Chain A
C-alpha cells in the first residue's frame, strides 16, 4: 500500500483538476470558456512526452543488459505514449475547430506531434514484423533510440524552420491572452503531474498483464 501513494496522488490531482478546472474563473478572451480545455488537452502532451522518454530510457537499458522485462516496459511506455498522442490530437482538433476555424492547421506543434505518431506507429509495425523475441527486442530498441533522437531534433528545430507557432507561449505576441493567470496556474501544474502519474499507472498495469501472459505461454 505504501508504494502505491502516487496512484492515490494521481487520482486526487485529476479529480482536483476536473472539479477545479470547471469552477475556476477563466479570463475573458476570444476563445471564451474553451480555455478550460487547457487542463485536459495540454496534459495529453505532457503524458506523451513523459511516456516516450521512459520508452527511450528503457530501450537504452535493454541494450546494456538484454533483460526482457526492460523491453516490455519500453514497448508499453510507447503504447501508452501513443494513446496519449492520439487523445491529444483529437482533443486538439475539437479545440482547434472552435478557435482557429479548422481541425488541422499548419503549425509546428501539430506537425511535430503528428510525426511523433508516425514514428511510433512504425515502431509498432517493426515489432510486429519480427518473430524472434530477442531479435525483435534488440532491433526495436535500436530503432527507438535512433528515432527518438531525430524526433526531438525535429520538434526543436521545426519552429525555427516554419516561423512562429500559432500556439500561444512562443514569445511571439500571443494571439490568445493565455500567459497563464495565477488562478489557472494553481490548477494547471497539479493537473499535468496528475496526467503523467496516470500514464505511469496505466503503463504499470499493462506491463503486469504482459508478464502474466508470458508466464501463461511458457
Chain B
C-alpha cells in the first residue's frame, strides 16, 4: 500500500461520481427535501436542542443513503479487477477518504439549508465546524465499514440501517453533545474530554477498518 495508490483510487472514486451525476444529485435532493419536510413539520421556531437533534439525525440518514452505495456501485467483476491490482488497505482507506469528502460537502450543505430555513442557532461557529469535520470523518469511517459488511449479504438496504444505527450511537451521542455546546455560551469544562473521546473513536474505527477489511475483501 502506498500513498500514490490511495490517491489514484480516490481520484477514481471522484471521477466515477462525476460521471454518474444522477447518484450524487439524488443524494442532494434527498438532503434538501428531508430538511424541507422537517421545516414544514415544525411550523414554529424551534429550540436549540431540537435544532441540534434534527440536524444530526438528518445528517445520519443522508450519510446512510450516500455511503450505502460505496460497494454496490461497481460490479463484482470490477471488484475482482481491483483485487488483483490494489491492496485491500488502500481500497478501504480510499473509500473512507472519498466518503469523508462527500460527507463534508453534504454536512456543509445541510448546515446552509438549516441556516436558510430554520434560522441560525449556532453561537460558537468554529466549534460547530470542528464537530462537522469530526462527524464527517466518523460517519464516513463507520458507515464505509458497515457498507462493506452489508454488501456481502443479500437484501442489503435495510441491513445497512439495522447494522449501522446501534453501532453509530457512541459517535452520534458524543457529536450531539459537543455541537449542543456550540449552541450556548462557551464553556470549556467537560468539552475537552468529549472532543478527546470523538477523536479517539475516529482513530480507533479507522484502525479497525484497516485491520478487518482484508477479511471482507478476500472471498
A residues in contact (CB < 8 Å) with B? 63, 115, 118-119, 122, 125-126, 129-131, 135, 138-139, 141-143, 145-147, 149-151, 153-154, 157-158, 160-161
Query: Among B24-32, B33-41, B97-105, B211-219, which stretch is in contact with chain A?
Result: B211-219
1/0 per position for B157-188, CB-CB distance to A under 8 A?
00100110111111101100100000000000
CB distance from A78 to the nearest CB of B (A): 14
Interface contact tally, CB-CB below 8 A: 84
CB distance from B91 to the nearest CB of A (A): 15
- On chain A, the residues within 8 Å of B173 by CB distance are 154, 157-158, 161
- On chain A, the residues within 8 Å of B2 by CB distance are none
Query: Among B71-79, B113-121, B148-156, which stretch is in contact with chain A?
Result: B148-156
Question: Are B166 and A115 in contact (CB-based, < 8 A)?
Answer: yes
- On chain A, the residues within 8 Å of B201 by CB distance are 150, 153
Apart from A125-B162, A129-B156, list 20 A-B contacts with CB within 8 A. Answer: A115-B166, A119-B167, A122-B162, A125-B159, A130-B152, A131-B154, A135-B152, A142-B216, A143-B149, A149-B204, A149-B208, A150-B168, A150-B201, A150-B205, A153-B170, A157-B173, A160-B194, A161-B173, A161-B174, A161-B194
Question: Are B167 and A126 in contact (CB-based, < 8 A)?
Answer: no
**In this complex, what residue of A is CB-closest to B212?**
A142
- On chain B, the residues within 8 Å of A122 by CB distance are 159, 162-163, 166
Closest 9 CB pairs of A and B: A118-B166, A154-B170, A129-B153, A150-B167, A119-B166, A122-B162, A153-B170, A139-B152, A142-B212
- On chain B, the residues within 8 Å of A154 by CB distance are 169-170, 173
- On chain B, the residues within 8 Å of A151 by CB distance are 166-167
B residues in contact (CB < 8 Å) with A? 142, 145, 149-150, 152-156, 159, 162-163, 165-171, 173-174, 177, 193-194, 197, 201, 204-205, 208, 212, 215-216, 219
Majority secondary structure, B binding face: helix
CB distance from B180 to the nearest CB of A (A): 10
Question: Are B152 and A150 in contact (CB-based, < 8 A)?
Answer: no
Question: Are B212 and A115 in contact (CB-based, < 8 A)?
Answer: no
**In this complex, what residue of A is CB-closest to B165?**
A118
Q: A125-B162, A149-B204, A160-B193 are contacts. A138–B153 as well, Cβ < 8 Å? A: no
CB distance from B156 to the nearest CB of A (A): 8
Within the assembled complex, what's the spacing in Å between the Cα atoms of A125 and B159? 8
